[in-house]
Amino acid sequence: MVEYWYNVRTHEVEEDAQSDYTQLIGPYKTRAEAEKALEKVKERNRAWDPSDADGDGWSDRD
């Protein structure tokens, strides 16, 4: 079964983790899910820290 990964360095989707795992987010079942990996990370950041309005991991207080 193929897994898809989002590479945070290259900003590309990889099939079956071709890069170092420190550069990858995943695995995802579909390419479409992997393509939206950063959006999902930002959503989770906002949910965890509501003061992080843009979801980039930095609160407005920093």
Beta-carbon neighbour count of residue 37 at 10 Å? 20
pLDDT, tens digit (0-9, with 9 covering 90-100), for 10-59: 999 999 989 999 999 999 999 999 999 999 988 887 787 777 666 676 66
Res 49: pLDDT: 75
Taken in order 47, 49, 52, 57, is the CA torsion positive or negative?
A: negative
Contacting residues for 10 by C-beta, under 8 A, at least 6 apart: 19, 23
Q: Decide: 15 and 28 in contact? Cβ < 8 Å.
A: no
Record the pTM.
0.73
- Token readout for 26 is 């995943």
Tell me: cis bond preceding 27? Omega within 30 of 0 counts: yes
